[in-house]
Structure 1
Amino acid sequence: MAKIQAPVKIKDVLYVTFTDLTHEGKAVAKVEGYPLFVEGALPDETGEIEVTKLNKGYGFAKLIRLDQIVPERVVPPCSVYDECGGCQLQHMTYEGQLKMKYNQVRNVIDRIAKLPDVPVHPVLGMEDPWRYRNKAQVPVGMNSGHIVAGFYKKRSHDIIDMTECLIQHEQSDNIIQKVKDVCAANGVMPYDEQRHKGVLRHVMARIGYTTGEMMAVLVTRTAELPNKEAIIKGIRDAIPGITSIVQNVNPDKTNVIFGNQTRTLWGEDVIYDLIGDVKFAISARSFYQVNPVQTEVLYGKALEFAGLTGDEVVIDAYCGIGTISLFLAKKAKEVYGVEIVPQAIEDAKKNAALNGITNAQFQAGKAEEVIPAWYKQGIRPDVIVVDPPRKGCDDALLQTILEMKPKKVVYVSCNPGTLARDLRVLEDGGYKTCEVQPVDMFPQTTHVEAVAVLTL
């Protein structure tokens, strides 16, 4: 094994100035050009660190103390922030977070897309950047003879028992605690992943942000739920107004949360929510955006960039449960949505019917296979909207777009790095990137979404 050449050694204690933040929220300190990544510090702060790990081109260190702190530093309001890995930026003012996210997008548009002249607008943030998540799913376990439920400690499978999470809807905290207590009172043992024994694996809460409807999901290892009737009654008594109680069965030795079998124990199969004036039915396993307030901002921007007049044919690649498609359908002549997950397509069709939308059609399959087939059938899109997973667009889809030559491409991205890479491909194929609008969907974390618009 080749020896790592670095200007520092493990256990070295160094005094440094932090210069930058990575896209994971770690501070960067450079020693003779060699970057060390450190959790908990901010750019322009100085302090002492201890080197913990060395790789070929970079290393890691832990923060010992800070001497000089910046005005962007705040005391994290969450009591388990240092242990839990769910948020990475609570020690930074919200203005500071938005600035960091802007820099992240600007940097990749310059460096990877090589488009320094394309406008990147300031990040659209939230008025209140807390309590925005409408879905919480937490593992359940045992600690010193007590049932605990909460997030995993950083880099471990130890559960931090938490009574509240400041980025979840308050009702989610309440549902998780009450379900845990009711199950404990009725002798339901938590799942033990080492021994593959016990019953209750996860508790999930889903909230209709605008409707106030609530769903509790119990993920169990066994199909049988001990004392089922008492548990249903206990949950209904403890959570007045609950809409739906659901059980999902996952018998496998796996870290995947859900199994294939889902059944409603009491109440409705779905809860409803609205984004703008579009209504969505959400089942236990539906994919649905976790921040509906900012989803409306994001999709509103996508709609604005599409510039629809009512005469356009639009294709929505990676359409999910039809969230963007149904927004677009209200302003377009015809919308065609494609998505690889068949269940999501079923949900999309139901959501179109729920809203009385008749000019949107949905098909399950790979975008790069379905869209060329549509083209052969004579479908000529004026606008193609893409909202790919973190890995970005499939290369075959980008080539399909370049062959079909729609007047406009609207790219909705959850990963600035792959957005920049794909913009470069489209630019080289004859498109021009007009502007990029970042949107903060996940305050207190390092994630940032963005919408870009390209014209032929």
Structure 2
Amino acid sequence: MVKQKVPVKKNETVTLLFEDLTHEGNGVGKISGYPIFVPHALPGEEANVKIVKVNKRFGYGKLLDIKKVSQERVTPPCDVFYKCGGCQLQHMSYDMQLEMKRNQVRNVMRKVAHLDHVPVHPVLGMEDPWRYRNKIQIPIGEKDGKLITGFYQARSHRIIDDMDTCLIQNELGDRMVEAVRRIATDLGIVSYDEKTHQGVLRHIIVRTAFWTNDTMIILITRTEKIPQQAELIKQLTETYPAIKSIIHNINKEKTNVILGKKTRTIYGEDYIFDTIGDLKFKISPRSFYQVNPTQTKVLYDKALEYANVGSEDVVIDAYCGIGTISLFLAQKAKKVYGVEIVPEAIRDAKENAQLNGLTNAEFVVGEAEKVMPWWTAQGLRPDVIVVDPPRKGCDEALLQAMVDMAPKRIVYVSCNPSTLARDLRILEDAGFETQEVQPVDMFPQTGHVEAIGLLCRHTM
């Protein structure tokens, strides 16, 4: 067998015509059939590129200068876009972002699920695809004796220290981060140093409620105590009365994981409230709550439409979190069962049901793949199953449990089109038929896309 020679070398400069995009939004150009992936390049563009990495099957390049510019190219409004790893698509028109995401879902439906015939609808996007995130997680460092906050530079652990704002984050949250940084600097509170494992402040998390403006600040430290804690709280809450909760989380480990195991409330409530539609939700520090409130309503409305729940229907919501989808379903169903592995989330789900006066929702702590076979053994036969798993998709045992329960419909909500397609194929082979897939843009300016699949059981 003749070994194929790679047609480019590292550090070589080449001219590329870009034909396509990867699922991350990198431009794809080819030399003698050899693909080269280049961040910030767009299809139809011709550019000079420096080769920075070479593998047997593909290479990576760095954009030097563009000779022919795409009409879809826009100027990123963010000053640090080309440094930061948070957004990948600000250089691309929003229409092109939506089309790229639809193609991403289409490709995996074809290549992974082998379901070419299933319609993948145009992506449901935002009217204003900026300032949508209701949760900020930001590391803290130090420069010239002052605290700095900023995201890590792409593929590094260097904080971007000239980052004053983030254009996909809630403005109130942005101001909270600035206030913590400024007040903590004035009070002489030092940042954590991950190299020496010394210092105090590691991260700031800010959660803002979109509809109520309630705000929770979570301060993550290496130490058991926050120096000058009382004065820090006083100055923060006097500056911003919207702060309803300040939480101290202690993380003593040498780890990239943000939150430690120990959490205590040092000001106000243990939670904040937000609303989606006509339902109210309690959000605690560790709650999973969708980060884009505007699009969450769009996503849930579509999931409810697909579920098509009637007043006599029994529904299971696997990976139910704090009960967001469950409670929307409970407004229409006879009974809803939710299962989730995180005990705090189930506690919140039960409180949220009570908060909204819904008595037909029952929540259980446990792994869905273990609880659902147990439910089957008890004779539970749901009409509809809604599943919203993490990025890795559904466990095989959970997929089998869904098949054994034989519901009329399965609504599969996914944050990873590849694992969605893999699981749809398994469910198809077990007697379900995928009707349609609806992508939703939950994360504008980034390469991520959410999608909902509707499956119906074959009837003999």
TM-score, with normalisation over the residues of structure 1?
0.97
Residues of 2 paired with 1:241 and 1:428: CA distance? 52
Give, in angstroms, the shift of residue 212 of structure 1: 0.8
Give, in angstroms, the shift of residue 240 of structure 1: 3.1
- Matched to 1:154, the amino acid is A
- Give the SS at the match of 2:243: coil
Residues of 2 paired with 1:312 and 1:223: CA distance? 50
- Matched to 1:6, the amino acid is V
2:314 is equivalent to residue 313 of structure 1: yes
1:24-43 maps to which residues of 2 (within 5 A)? 24-43=24-43
Residue 381 of structure 2 contacts residue 406 of structure 2 at CA under 8 Å; is this kept in 1? Answer: no
Residues of 2 paired with 1:61 and 1:119: CA distance? 35
Paired position in structure 2 for 1:135:
135
Paired position in structure 2 for 1:428:
429
Give, in angstroms, the shift of residue 146 of structure 1: 2.1
- Give the SS at the match of 2:50: strand
Which piece of structure 1 moves more, 392-401 or 133-142? 392-401
Paired position in structure 2 for 1:126:
126
- Give the SS at the match of 1:410: strand
Residue 123 of structure 2 contacts residue 440 of structure 2 at CA under 8 Å; is this kept in 1? Answer: yes
Structure 1: gaps of 5 or more residues: none
Residue 172 of structure 1 contacts residue 207 of structure 1 at CA under 8 Å; is this kept in 2? Answer: yes
Residues of 2 paired with 1:299 and 1:427: CA distance? 24
Deviations 1:37-90 (A, max 9, x none): 101101111111121111222111111111111111000000010111100000
Residues of 1 paired with 2:112 and 2:318: CA distance? 23
Residues of 2 paired with 1:364 and 1:395: CA distance? 19
Residue 4 of structure 1 contacts residue 55 of structure 1 at CA under 8 Å; is this kept in 2? Answer: no
Give, in angstroms, the shift of residue 403 of structure 1: 2.0
- Give the SS at the match of 2:103: helix
Residues of 2 paired with 1:220 and 1:126: CA distance? 36
Paired position in structure 2 for 1:148:
148
Give, in angstroms, the shift of residue 274 of structure 1: 0.7
Paired position in structure 2 for 1:294:
295
Which piece of structure 1 moves more, 329-338 or 237-246? 237-246
Paired position in structure 2 for 1:366:
367
Structure 2: gaps of 5 or more residues: none
Paired position in structure 2 for 1:220:
221
Give, in angstroms, the shift of residue 144 of structure 1: 2.9
Residue 4 of structure 1 contacts residue 54 of structure 1 at CA under 8 Å; is this kept in 2? Answer: no
Deviations 1:188-247 (A, max 9, x none): 011111111111111111101001111111111111111111111111122233211221
Which piece of structure 1 moves more, 242-251 or 287-296? 242-251
Paired position in structure 2 for 1:72:
72
Give, in angstroms, the shift of residue 390 of structure 1: 0.8
Deviations 1:132-191 (A, max 9, x none): 000001010112332101111111111113211000000011000001111111110111
Residue 18 of structure 1 contacts residue 44 of structure 1 at CA under 8 Å; is this kept in 2? Answer: yes
* Amino-acid identity (%): 59
Paired position in structure 2 for 1:14:
14
- Distance verdict in 2 for CA 1:241–1:343, change over 3 Å: closer
- Matched to 1:103, the amino acid is N
Give, in angstroms, the shift of residue 5 of structure 1: 4.1
Residues of 2 paired with 1:45 and 1:281: CA distance? 48
Residue 171 of structure 1 contacts residue 207 of structure 1 at CA under 8 Å; is this kept in 2? Answer: yes
Residue 299 of structure 2 contacts residue 440 of structure 2 at CA under 8 Å; is this kept in 1? Answer: yes
- Give the SS at the match of 1:148: strand
- Matched to 1:8, the amino acid is V
Give, in angstroms, the shift of residue 250 of structure 1: 1.0
Residues of 2 paired with 1:211 and 1:12: CA distance? 55
1:226-237 maps to which residues of 2 (within 5 A)? 226-237=227-238
Residue 317 of structure 1 contacts residue 386 of structure 1 at CA under 8 Å; is this kept in 2? Answer: yes
- Give the SS at the match of 1:243: strand
Paired position in structure 1 for 2:400:
399
Residue 118 of structure 1 contacts residue 433 of structure 1 at CA under 8 Å; is this kept in 2? Answer: yes
Report the RMSD for the aligned CA atoms in angstroms. Answer: 1.4
Moved over 3 A (4+): none
TM-score, with normalisation over the residues of structure 2?
0.97
Residues of 2 paired with 1:5 and 1:364: CA distance? 55
* Paired positions, count: 455
Residues of 2 paired with 1:319 and 1:95: CA distance? 32
